[in-house]
């Protein structure tokens, strides 16, 4: 049986995430405690108590989601549950890289702390927004965004989530105009998202440049024995000769191609998709493009124990 682990990105956070698993499993407790020590942040308080306003700040959200995903992952590993393929959405890719042993736990925590800070703070001082476009071909979305860009209005596709959903990102005024145009072009729904930064666009160039300096000090372990990790920037596997520092820096300003990751996993005949961490967004995307897919979400003690029971662990 071929299993894929999926790790969520920003927007999946919820106050209280991971608390019940932390209280029951020592493996999870160790992850949270170690992450607090490495990051010099009270990650446990952020995850378990919030407040929501603090948890939703990009510099806090990214590390909180990563640590919650890794805490659940450690419990699964202790039970002998592993995967052949790992991927994540945006920051979720770091959980996948840690899962595969390409980045160490310590380096992953340090990187995401910096990444979250830069992405939350090193952006031009404008009002931004993001919106999910449902039921419209991505080529039509690109066309409308390009028309706006030609007239000096900044709105671009940022996340290609699945064949029927693309997220656009940009300056608030341009996004509002894009929303109307997209509805007129036949979009089934356009939903504003609870993120405020122009993530995965060229507006984050300063964040990318600052982050490049952090990546210079990191050692990566890319070899054929690793779990296969799918890259967000193009939906292909990491390879031994990849310039991983360049890829992770570019990731900040490049569109996320989760649609291509789904296609690759389908071609690889993945039997079981397990989303590890808060929310259930990624398995939802998988189901939209692959209705027969067997999916699981592990985001609470109840869902974890139900999954372990089903796997007869």
- Domains by residue range for the chain, with CATH: 3-122+203-310 (3.40.366.10), 128-196 (3.30.70.250)
Task: Provide mean pLDDT across the span 60-69.
Answer: 98
Split at pLDDT 50, 70, 90, the class of 132 is very high
From the number of C-beta atoms within 10 Å of its C-beta (0-12, 13-18, 19+), residue 127 rates as exposed
**Separation of alpha carbons 60 and 116, rounded Å:** 7
pLDDT at 119 over 80: yes
Split at pLDDT 50, 70, 90, the class of 223 is confident
From the number of C-beta atoms within 10 Å of its C-beta (0-12, 13-18, 19+), residue 240 rates as exposed
Query: Taking a C-beta distance cutoff of 8 angstroms, is the pair 106, 38 a contact?
Result: yes
Task: Provide mean pLDDT across the span 169-188.
Answer: 96
Q: Strand pairing partners for 133? A: 166, 190
Ranges 33-42, 129-138, 186-195, 255-264: which has the least confidence: 186-195
Split at pLDDT 50, 70, 90, the class of 313 is confident
Task: Provide mean pLDDT across the span 282-306.
Answer: 97
Task: Provide mean pLDDT across the span 26-48.
Answer: 98
pLDDT at 162 over 90: yes
Q: Which of 90, 129, 169, 254 is catalytic?
A: 90
Tell me, what's the pLDDT at 276?
98
Tell me, what's the pLDDT at 312?
86
The rounded percent of the chain whose pLDDT value lies above 90 is: 95
Which pTM was predicted? 0.96
pLDDT at 137 over 90: yes
Q: Which of 138, 169, 200, 251 is catalytic?
A: 200
Is 251 catalytic? The answer is: no
Q: Strand pairing partners for 131? A: 168, 192
Ranges 47-51, 151-155, 194-198: which has the least confidence: 194-198
Tell me, what's the pLDDT at 224?
75
Task: Provide mean pLDDT across the span 89-96.
Answer: 98
Tell me, what's the pLDDT at 263?
98
Tell me, what's the pLDDT at 307?
97
**Separation of alpha carbons 200 and 15, rounded Å:** 25
Is 90 catalytic? The answer is: yes
Tell me, what's the pLDDT at 226?
80
**Separation of alpha carbons 116 and 112, rounded Å:** 6
DSSP assignment, residue 199?
T
Tell me, what's the pLDDT at 153?
96
Instruction: Show the tokens assigned to 95.
Output: 């959980």
Tell me, what's the pLDDT at 196?
66
Tell me, what's the pLDDT at 193?
83
């Amino acid at each position: 049986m071929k299993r894929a682990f999926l790790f969520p990105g920003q927007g999946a956070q919820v106050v209280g995430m991971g608390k019940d698993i932390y209280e029951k499993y020592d493996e999870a407790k160790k992850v949270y405690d170690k992450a607090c020590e490495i990051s010099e942040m009270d990650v446990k308080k952020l995850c378990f108590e919030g407040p929501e306003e603090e948890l939703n700040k990009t510099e806090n959200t990214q590390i909180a989601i990563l640590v919650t995903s890794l805490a659940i992952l450690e419990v699964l590993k202790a039970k002998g549950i592993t995967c052949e393929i790992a991927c994540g959405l945006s920051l979720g890719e770091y959980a996948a890289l840690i899962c595969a042993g390409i980045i160490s736990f310590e380096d992953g925590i340090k990187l995401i702390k910096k990444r979250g800070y830069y992405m939350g703070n090193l952006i031009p001082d404008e009002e931004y927004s993001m919106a999910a476009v449902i039921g419209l071909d991505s080529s039509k979305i690109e066309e409308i965004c390009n028309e706006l860009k030609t007239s000096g209005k900044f709105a671009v596709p940022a996340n290609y989530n699945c064949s029927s959903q693309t997220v656009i990102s940009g300056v608030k005024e341009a996004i509002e105009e894009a929303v109307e145009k997209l509805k007129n072009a036949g979009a089934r729904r356009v939903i504003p998202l609870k993120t405020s930064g122009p993530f995965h666009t060229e507006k984050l160039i300063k964040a990318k440049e600052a982050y490049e300096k952090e990546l210079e000090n990191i050692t990566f372990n890319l070899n054929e024995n690793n779990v296969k990790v799918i890259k967000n920037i193009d939906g292909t596997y990491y390879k031994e000769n990849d310039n991983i520092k360049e890829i992770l820096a570019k990731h900040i300003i490049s569109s996320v191609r989760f649609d291509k990751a789904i296609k690759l996993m389908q071609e690889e005949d993945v039997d079981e998709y397990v989303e590890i961490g808060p929310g259930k967004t990624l398995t939802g995307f998988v189901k939209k493009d692959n209705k027969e897919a067997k999916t699981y979400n592990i985001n609470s003690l109840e869902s974890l124990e139900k999954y372990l029971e089903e796997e007869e662990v």
